[in-house]
Structures are given as C-alpha cells and as structure tokens.
Amino acid sequence: MFKYRGKYYMCASDLYGWDSSFAYYLVSDDVRGPYLPANEMLVMPGCEDDFAHVTQTGFFYTLKGTLQETVIYCGDRWADFAGNGWGYNQWFPLSFEGEVPYFNSLSAWYLHEKTGEWKVAEDNNYVKNGSFEADRRLIPNPVKPPQEDLLGWKTEIIEGNRVAINDSLSPVLNRFNTESDRRIVIGEKCMQISDITDFKRRVSQTITSSPYVELADGYYSLSAMIKNTGGFDKLSMYAVSRGEKYELSVDKENLNWEAIQLDEVYVSQGRVEIGFYAEGQADAGAWIDDIVLIRNP
C-alpha cells in the first residue's frame, strides 16, 4: 500500500508462482476503505508490455522532496527460482494522471534525493520484454495466432504454419536457454523463429514516447544476441522511424551466441519500430535474446 495526495492505494499481483505479472491497484479516500472499484482491481497503465518490468508487486517508498513527491515501486524478481534474469528488487518511479498511477518501465533512471525529481538515464533500454522473460508460460517460437504473441511483440506470419508446432520441431530447435547459454545471455528464455516448412516471419515492437517518458529525437543503437542455423534466404534485424529503414543482415550461420548491432538509427517524432525478419527453409532456426535500444551519447 501507499498514500499519495490524500488517496490510499492498495496494490497486488497475479498468483503465477515465481513468475512476473501485471501490477494491479485499488483506490480509497480512507485507509480502512472501501477500495474501488469493488471486486475489480485495475491494471496499472505502463506495465502491460513487460509484466511490470518482469516483477511482482513488492512494496512502495514515497520520497517527499523539496520540489516533488515521488512514489517508488519496488518489484520482486525471483531470478533464482523462475530463471527470469537478473534481479531481486527492481525500482521504478510512478507518475499520476489524477488518481491513476502510471508505471514507468525503465531500466535506468536518476533520482534526486533532495528535490524528489527523477529523469531517464542515458543508458536506459527502451525495449520492452527484450530478453523474453516476462511471459509466464512456456514460450514457443512465434508461430501462434496474433492474440498469443510474445508479450510486447507482434508476430506476422507471412508464410508457414499459423499454429504452434513445438511437438513437431527438431530437438535442436529448443526455446529454452541452456545453462551454458545463460552464462552469455540473460534468463532462461529467448525468442525462437523456426518452422517445419519453408516460412517467412516478421516479429516487431513499436516503441513510442509515453505521457511521462519521452523517446527523444536523436541517434540510437539497436543491438541483440543471436544464434542461428543455416538455411535462411534472409535473416535481418531492422528499425524504422518516420519512413527511414535501417537494416542489418545476418549472412552466416552462428552456432554460438553472437552480438549484432545497428548504429546511428535516427529516431524522430517519438516513434520507432524495431524487429526481425526471416525467410527460412524448413527446419532452419534462429534464437534471439537481449534486445537493446539505447540512445547514443
């Protein structure tokens, strides 16, 4: 619970074991209630695309600064048990629109301990669920119907199977990171793009300014870790902003994790689409993890 500007907030998470969930809240004028809306906790805006930055609701700390009162969300990330990446306590500033709290999903931010003001840090990663640890269920490769896309990502099936086919995949096309993988990439899950027939896929995420965090005009770097078989006619990472496309082709087989990076991606008007495009032969596979969009110095 926390109190902000005379309102009392009761918050909670879903019961998904060790895994992350949405952050929920109710509001009351009195600490004893009633908390509204009755019997219907609301999802905190801003937490939807990465399950509250891969956490469960933990507790809150309110910093009453000289210029601003800032409520800080502390989320639990059960890395040892869920295998969902680095962490235990993860800290995020909340914003408010009236009495509605907004979850600012940031990987890096500054807090002025005297004034209470906060701002986004230069090394913030603007990608949501970039290591694919937010999905509480097992993560198949993205060949599912659109309503079951990976959280925060959109999958376009251009050619190939439109239903999950995991039982038919070759054992080498594993959607889990092994223990040795996890010495290189974050967490136990990654995105897998594959099929048992020839296929074409596009997996993308549109990143925009939020009401409280600006995606400022400027040059950014887009990077990822990738591992892939042969058998691709095309495999690429791309970014599109204001009609300008930047693309990096993966032209060789990578049996081990390799870092790829697009430098000098110019983002304007607070919007950029990032993604991966694949044209593969049957049983070709690509594994992608740790996607980062960071503003250049």
For residue range 247-256, list pLDDT tens digits in order: 999 999 999 9
Domain shared by 32 and 110, yes or no: yes
pLDDT < 70 positions in the chain:
82, 85-87, 136-148, 162-175
Does 166 fall in a domain? yes
Domain shared by 115 and 238, yes or no: no
Distance between CA 98 and CA 86 in Å, rounded? 34
Name beta bridge partners: 202: 156, 277
Does 126 fall in a domain? no
| pLDDT tens figures, 129-162 | 999 988 765 544 444 443 357 889 998 989 988 6
Domain shared by 95 and 191, yes or no: no
Q: What is the CATH number of the domain that holds 201?
A: 2.60.120.260
Domain shared by 85 and 158, yes or no: no
Give the total number of structural domains in the chain: 2
Domain that holds residue 228: 146-295
Question: What is the per-residue pLDDT for 278?
Answer: 96
Domain shared by 261 and 178, yes or no: yes
Is the overall model pTM greater than 0.75, yes or no?
yes
Domain shared by 184 and 104, yes or no: no
Of all residues in the chain, what percent are helix, strand and coil, respectively (each to 5)?
A: 5, 45, 50
Distance between CA 295 and CA 268 in Å, rounded? 12
Domain shared by 202 and 91, yes or no: no
Domain shared by 185 and 85, yes or no: no
Q: Alpha-carbon Rg of the chain, whole angstroms? A: 20
Name beta bridge partners: 227: 287
Q: Is the peptide bond before 101 cis (omega within 30 degrees of 0)?
A: no
